[in-house]
Structure 1
Amino acid sequence: MPPPPVDSLTRFLRLNPPVFSSSTEPIVADDWLRKIGRELATAGCNDAKKVKFAAHQLDGPAAAWWENYTTTYPLESVTWTQFQQAFRTAHVSAGAMSLKKKEFRSLRQGGRTVSQYVDEFSKLARYAPEDVATDAAKQEKFLEGLNDELGVQLTVATFANYQELVDKATILEGKHQQMQNRKRKYGELAEAHSFDTIFAPRSRRSRRTVDVGAAGAPSPAVLASPRPDAADKRRHHLRDALDAPHLPIFFPVDEDHRNRRPLRHRRRAAVFIVAGHHHHPL
């Protein structure tokens, strides 16, 4: 015994048609309308059923719009073409579509990664299909928006298709990131080396004392222990202070540094620094 015939509504619902409520992206509403149209055609619906079944898949604000629309235009009189035109007018604004097209044409990578740029490029390209009608045009537009550090190197190469260009851009970005990480690491090492050099004591040159004998001839030279100079002492104290910031450091500060009086007449005060704060004594 053959199975009972399946009506068009059952066939349509078996396709899991999407539901539309609202969207800030006009292309989403346009996509819904196109997909519903394809599935209605697959289910073998006539014009009257297309309108009813499509309206059945509206929800939220879109369903409210449809109820208001049918108060002016009775459901039985609405054709499928009329439904599509009314839906696009309400949910696919021509002004919004135009703004999205301009946004695509001015799209630049900027601070995005290549992956993020690809996602934005693909999303906005749907608003300007004529700009990416061919694979060559799509590659050209993609290269135009890439940052110079990537675009300059990729422009001189040839790619079989758009996806190959995207893959190469992603690989090149990774290499650039590795170079930046190495530069940052070397910079930190150089900075640390410079800090150690500044606060390390200078090499002390040995002083030679000569013992003159009774006959006036010099005896073999004897190396005397050198004494650290004032700069070495300052560096030594400052290094100790950095290693133990909880200890107070006393620096004599000339309060009358602009006074041209002799040094013995100038008043001097001690300034001490404890844990990064400086204070004058009361």
Structure 2
Amino acid sequence: MHQLVEQFFKLKPSKFNGTGDPEAAILWIKELEKAFALLRCSGEDKVILAVYQMQGNTSNWWEATQGKVFPEGTDLAWNAFVKAFNIKSFSDYVWEQKMYEAKFVELSRYAPRLVDEPVEWARRFRDGLKPEIKSQLVPLNLKDYNELYERVQLIERDTAERAAASGS
């Protein structure tokens, strides 16, 4: 284990403090998974190393939650950890939008003619959004997918912040 920890730290993995930004949470997990693949970590090693990289609110959350995720006598499983982390990091609403975006990108590979043009790619993505998000974007008539996706993220973040502020 000592050698694994040493190799892990040589890769300079980032810490995570739970900034509230869903994108930061996704990127942190992806970064860790790349390091874990390189080091050929076991599921238990992955959880131990990831927990060590947590700081602030995220560390406090894990201290309060770990007994529920891994009751005494349960093996530490990476998938269970990631599932709990994602539930903590994303509201259902944000998670649903992330899944839609990922599915859209995945499926677009099978119908390249339908999304050959960047404008068409953006339009089709926009048309598949939830009505409450779509209605805010249609008047902007955004033709660039990256800009459209960035706006969707801003709307999601704003919606989540307002929901948190109102207590719903």
Q: Tell me the TM-score normalised to structure 2 length.
A: 0.58
CA distance in 2, matches of 1:147, 1:92: 26
Percent identity, aligned pairs only, is 24
The one-letter code matched in structure 2 to 1:41 is: A
The one-letter code matched in structure 2 to 1:128 is: E
Match of 2:103 among 116, 130, 144: 130
CA contact 2:16–2:53 (8 Å) conserved in 1: yes
- Cα pair distance change 1:76/1:55, threshold 3 Å: farther
User: What SS does structure 1 have at the residue aligned with 2:13?
Assistant: coil
The one-letter code matched in structure 1 to 2:58 is: A
- Cα pair distance change 1:75/1:10, threshold 3 Å: farther
CA distance in 1, matches of 2:82, 2:95: 16
CA contact 1:47–1:79 (8 Å) conserved in 2: yes
Cα drift, residue 141 of structure 1? 2.8
Counterpart in the other structure of 1:81? 79
Cα drift, residue 86 of structure 1? 1.0
The one-letter code matched in structure 2 to 1:18 is: S
Cα drift, residue 7 of structure 1? 0.9
Please identify, of 9-18 and 87-96, the stretch whose mean Cα deviation from structure 2 is larger.
Answer: 87-96
Counterpart in the other structure of 1:22? 18
CA distance in 2, matches of 1:141, 1:61: 38
Q: Which has the higher contact order (CA 8 A, sep 6+)?
A: 2
Unpaired segments of 5 or more residues in structure 2? Answer: 125-137, 146-168
Please identify, of 18-27 and 48-57, the stretch whose mean Cα deviation from structure 2 is larger.
Answer: 18-27
| Residue 142 (structure 1) aligned with residue 122 (structure 2) | yes
- Cα pair distance change 1:96/1:44, threshold 3 Å: same
Structure with more helix by fraction: 2
Unpaired segments of 5 or more residues in structure 1? Answer: 1-5, 102-125, 152-161, 163-282
Counterpart in the other structure of 1:95? 93
CA distance in 2, matches of 1:59, 1:25: 15
CA contact 1:55–1:63 (8 Å) conserved in 2: yes
Counterpart in the other structure of 1:31? 27
- Which protein is bigger by CA-based radius of gyration? 1
Deviation readout 1:149-171 (Å, 9 max, x if unpaired): x96xxxxxxxxxx9xxxxxxxxx
User: What SS does structure 1 have at the residue aligned with 2:49?
Assistant: helix
Counterpart in the other structure of 2:129? none
The within-5 A match list for 1:1-282 is 7-72=3-68, 73-74=70-71, 77=74, 78-98=76-96, 100=97, 128-132=101-105, 133-134=108-109, 137=115, 139=118, 140-142=120-122
Cα drift, residue 51 of structure 1? 0.8
- Cα pair distance change 1:127/1:29, threshold 3 Å: farther
- Cα pair distance change 1:26/1:85, threshold 3 Å: same
Cα drift, residue 143 of structure 1? 6.3
Q: How many residues align?
A: 122
- CA-based RMSD of the aligned residues comes to 3.3
CA distance in 2, matches of 1:92, 1:62: 13
CA distance in 1, matches of 2:40, 2:5: 9
